């Protein structure tokens, strides 16, 4: 056997499996659905943020995020102007107290998460949001805190989600 013949057989033994392998990978990538691709992107999560102001006006805004998000960051992602001291909300849209005096007598902001059947305001510090959460912030009106909180003072979260989804649907129709 000549050296030239041996080299061409060796080249064929290396090249043929490589070409076949590349063709198989190409066929797999082409036939794979987009949601099962090898290049999976970062997961996107969504939630709703509810804010009820002292005068009773209520804003509900959907948000999306990747990674993790705190309640204060959720307020900001929803487009609210927020002053805070750590996890404590001092003011939203100028209603409440400045961050330099977060616990002044005008800071009656309660916050909580919808827990399936009622508003849960017990967790402190508040946990980061999870996909599908509805978080609410409500500013009370009584300095004695007699109307502080969410339970019994805000409608159930599904009411807000339905209203928000309907508004988003209408916005897409325009």
On whether both 100 and 164 belong to a single domain, the answer is yes
- pLDDT, mean of residues 165-172: 87
| SS3 state at 11 | helix
Out of 5-14, 38-47, 101-110, 148-157, pick the least confident.
5-14
In this structure, are 73 and 148 located in the same domain?
Answer: yes
On whether both 17 and 67 belong to a single domain, the answer is: no
Between residues 155 and 77, the one the model is more confident about: 77
97 shares its domain with 153? yes
Residues 6+ apart with CB under 8 A from 74: 47, 49, 63, 65, 129, 135
Per-residue pLDDT at 95 exceeds 80: yes
**Do residues 29 and 51 both lie within one domain?**
no
Q: Which of 3-12, 35-44, 47-56, 90-99 has the lowest mean pLDDT?
A: 3-12
156: CATH = 2.170.130.30
Whether residues 16 and 52 share a domain: the answer is no
SS3 assignment, position 46: strand
Q: Are residues 126 and 60 in the same domain?
A: yes
Among 129, 118, 150, residue whose Cα is nearest residue 49: 129
Residue 17 has pLDDT above 70, yes or no: no
Q: Is the pLDDT of residue 138 over 90?
A: yes
Residue 118 sits in the same domain as residue 71: yes
Which pLDDT tens digit goes with each residue over 62-75?
Answer: 999 999 999 999 99
For the entire predicted model, the pTM comes to: 0.72
Residue 43's contacts (CB-CB under 8 Å, 6 or more residues apart) are 66
pLDDT for residue 162 is more than 60:
yes
Q: Based on the domain organization, do 53 and 32 belong to the same domain?
A: no
Q: What local confidence, expressed as pLDDT, does residue 37 receive?
A: 43
Structural domain for 150, as ranges: 45-173
**pLDDT surpasses 50 at 28:** no
């Amino acid at each position: 056997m000549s050296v030239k013949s041996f080299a061409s057989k060796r080249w064929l033994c290396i090249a043929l499996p490589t070409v076949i392998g590349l063709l198989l990978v190409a066929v797999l990538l082409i036939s794979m659905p987009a949601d099962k691709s090898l290049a999976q992107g970062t997961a996107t999560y969504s939630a709703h943020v509810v804010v009820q102001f002292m005068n009773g006006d209520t804003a509900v805004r959907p948000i999306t995020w990747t990674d993790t998000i705190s309640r204060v960051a959720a307020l900001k992602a929803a487009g609210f102007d927020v002053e805070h001291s750590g996890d404590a909300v001092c003011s939203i849209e100028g209603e409440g107290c400045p961050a330099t005096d977060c616990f002044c007598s005008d800071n009656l902001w309660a916050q909580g998460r919808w827990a399936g059947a009622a508003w849960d305001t017990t967790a402190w510090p508040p946990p980061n949001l999870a996909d599908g959460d509805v978080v609410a912030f409500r500013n009370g009106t009584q300095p004695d805190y007699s109307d502080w909180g969410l339970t019994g003072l805000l409608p159930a979260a599904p009411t807000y989600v339905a209203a928000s989804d309907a508004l988003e649907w209408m916005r897409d129709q325009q």
